[in-house]
């Protein structure tokens, strides 16, 4: 069985995104698709899924046409799709129903549906969340639900759009295991920035200038860490947690959190999905209030959430970034907006465009600029490197380094231990809602045993090359 796209052309607002792309995906087999942000990876995947119709070209699955009314439903029964933002695919009120939804639409026997759902939840560690709304889960757990749903469908072809982007170490290992088990019965297109994912594929393709090529060597996906002197932390307190507990309804998420972060300090916050990292960030930003205990912040707090593109709302990039400093009554909000956009590298020619016309990577940078424009003394970044190509990761790192020079306090939530090992003044690790480690990054990351215990990856996991250029601490 083959899924074939031939001479695919797609334009968005007069800009050619795909210009004669060709791809053949066979069952069984795994193809890894790599490329920069905005290169057309997601667009091609949506064409293959029958969601976007190309201006020119053909898509066929054993003669079925996804854009022909007489065959499109049969075509789509063969496709399982995982969106880059897991929420885009959610339809049900709890995790169990979410995974079962596609199976019910396929009219499978009840016993088979139950067996598939349970197997998928066990594979991805979702049993404790079976009755929870997927929208209430952490970003990493949402990703697990989306992947489990696609794999449980038993589709002939799986299209996975950077599924590991928000997964923790154990989640990625579960994903690799599931792909290994499925690769002999399905055709898999795995869009990825992760070298180990590309190494596990039968074929690697690179998309550039709207076309696909097969490289001689697997591309290196590690960010280029810039040589920039980061600022020095001071003895002044920027943020303090004292015996903080937090519960969602009856679920205790954080327990007895006591933590002091200094002005100008860059703190890496790590831990397995569901360990409480995002909840701690929301408490620090004042978006949530602790169930007990006390939090003090000594300065304005800005937070860039896991999906910063979802923080965008205005009709133009310029109005979006200007909004924060205007509402806060800051002096000269236009200059603050312009400075922020220049800092993140959004060209002036894009300022009058709708932010939703930009690539995913550009939208993330605009979301970051909107927060930077408010001049926060404390900046919280929740998974800022997820789904970014190496070049854009490097750009975000330069922005972080520039902000630390201004004595901005940074809380950096990320699974990318390779980045934290080169940048963080200190790392704080959460496990089951408690602080399990607080100290030197390399002492933690140098212990594979401790990393495994905390559910985080050792730095070597993320790349297949050594980086000499680093942010100097």
Q: Tell me if 46 sits within 8 A of 53, measured CB to CB.
A: no
Residues 6 or more apart from 115 whose CB is under 8 A from it? none
The total of other beta-carbon atoms located within 10 Å of residue 355's CB is 25
In the sheet with 378-382, reading across from the earlier edge strand, the strands are 301-304, 378-382, 409-413, 266-271, 426-431, 434-439
pLDDT value, residue 307: 83
pLDDT at 466: 40
Q: Do domains 2-213 and 237-462 have the same CATH topology?
A: yes
Its CATH architecture, for the domain 2-213, is: 3-Layer(aba) Sandwich (3.40)
pLDDT at 328: 95
What's the pLDDT at 364?
Answer: 87
Q: Is 16 exposed, middle or buried (0-12, 13-18, 19+ CB in 10 A)?
A: middle
Report the C-alpha gap between 10 and 57 in whole angstroms: 9
- Residue 251, beta-bridge partner list: 248
Whole-number pLDDT of residue 221: 52
9, 198 Cβ separation under 8 angstroms: no
Distance CA 451, CA 449 (A): 6
Letter string b/e over residues 187-219, b meaning 16 or more CB atoms within 10 A of that residue's CB: bbbbbbbbbbbbebbeebbbbeebebeeeeebb
Residue 157's beta-bridge partner residues? Answer: 79, 187
pLDDT, one tens digit for every residue, the chain (473 residues): 999 999 999 998 778 999 999 999 999 999 999 998 889 999 999 999 999 999 999 999 999 999 999 999 999 999 999 998 899 999 999 999 999 999 999 999 999 999 999 999 999 999 999 999 999 998 889 999 999 999 999 999 999 999 999 999 999 999 999 999 999 999 999 999 888 888 889 999 999 988 999 987 765 555 555 544 445 667 899 999 999 999 988 889 999 999 999 999 999 999 999 999 999 999 999 999 999 999 999 999 999 998 888 889 999 999 999 999 999 999 999 999 999 999 999 999 999 999 998 877 788 899 999 999 999 999 999 999 988 888 888 889 989 988 988 889 999 999 999 999 988 999 999 999 999 999 999 899 999 999 999 999 999 898 765 433 333 33
Given this structure, which CATH class describes domain 237-462? alpha beta
Return d(Cα 100, Cα 114) in angstroms, integer.
8
* 3 state SS of 267: strand
Q: In the chain, where are the structural domains located?
A: 2-213, 237-462
Contact between 144 and 82 under an 8 Å Cβ cutoff? The reply is no
Are 361 and 37 in contact by the 8 Å Cβ rule? The answer is yes
CA atoms within 13 A on the CB side of 451: 22
Give the pLDDT score at 230.
47
CA pair distance 437, 194, nearest whole angstrom: 27
């Amino acid at each position: 069985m083959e899924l074939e796209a031939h001479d695919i052309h797609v334009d968005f607002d007069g800009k050619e995104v795909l210009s004669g792309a060709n791809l053949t995906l066979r069952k069984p087999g795994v193809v890894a698709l790599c490329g920069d942000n905005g290169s057309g990876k997601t667009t091609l995947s949506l064409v293959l899924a029958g969601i976007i119709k190309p201006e020119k070209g053909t898509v066929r699955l054993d003669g079925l046409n996804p854009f022909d009314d007489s065959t499109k439903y049969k075509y789509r029964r063969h496709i399982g799709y995982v969106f880059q933002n897991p929420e885009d695919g959610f339809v049900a009120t709890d995790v169990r129903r979410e995974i079962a939804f596609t199976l019910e639409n396929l009219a499978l026997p009840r016993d088979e549906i139950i067996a598939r759902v349970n197997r998928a939840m066990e594979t991805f560690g979702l049993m404790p969340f079976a009755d929870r709304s997927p929208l209430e889960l952490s970003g990493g757990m949402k990703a697990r639900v989306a992947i489990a749903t696609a794999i449980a469908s038993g589709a002939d072809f799986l299209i996975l759009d950077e599924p590991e982007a928000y997964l923790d170490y154990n989640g990625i290992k579960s994903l690799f295991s599931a792909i290994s088990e499925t690769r002999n019965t399905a055709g898999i297109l795995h869009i990825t920035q992760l070298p180990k994912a590309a190494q596990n594929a039968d074929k690697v393709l690179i998309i550039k200038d709207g076309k696909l090529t097969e490289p001689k060597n697997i591309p290196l996906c590690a960010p280029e860490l810039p040589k920039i002197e980061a600022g020095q932390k001071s003895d002044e307190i920027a943020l303090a947690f004292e015996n903080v507990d937090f519960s969602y309804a009856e679920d205790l998420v954080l327990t007895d959190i006591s933590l002091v972060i200094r002005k100008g300090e860059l703190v890496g916050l790590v831990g397995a999905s569901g360990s409480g990292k995002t909840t701690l960030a929301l408490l620090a930003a004042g978006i949530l209030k602790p169930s007990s205990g006390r939090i003090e912040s000594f300065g304005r707090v800005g937070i860039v959430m896991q999906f910063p593109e979802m923080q965008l709302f205005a009709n133009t990039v310029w109005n979006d970034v200007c909004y924060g400093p205007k509402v806060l009554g800051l002096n000269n909000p236009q200059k603050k907006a312009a400075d922020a956009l220049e800092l993140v590298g959004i060209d002036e020619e894009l300022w009058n465009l709708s932010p939703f016309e930009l690539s995913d990577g550009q939208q993330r940078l605009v979301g970051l600029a909107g927060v930077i424009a408010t001049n926060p003394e404390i900046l919280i970044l929740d998974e800022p490197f997820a789904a970014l190509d190496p070049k854009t990761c490097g750009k975000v790192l330069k922005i972080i380094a520039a902000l630390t020079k201004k004595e901005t306090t940074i809380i950096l939530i990320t699974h990318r231990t390779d980045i934290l090992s080169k940048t963080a003044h200190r790392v704080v690790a959460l496990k089951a809602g408690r602080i399990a480690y607080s100290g030197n990054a390399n002492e933690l990351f140098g212990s594979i045993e401790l990393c495994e215990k905390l559910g985080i990856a050792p730095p070597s996991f993320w790349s297949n090359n050594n980086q000499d250029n680093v942010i100097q601490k």
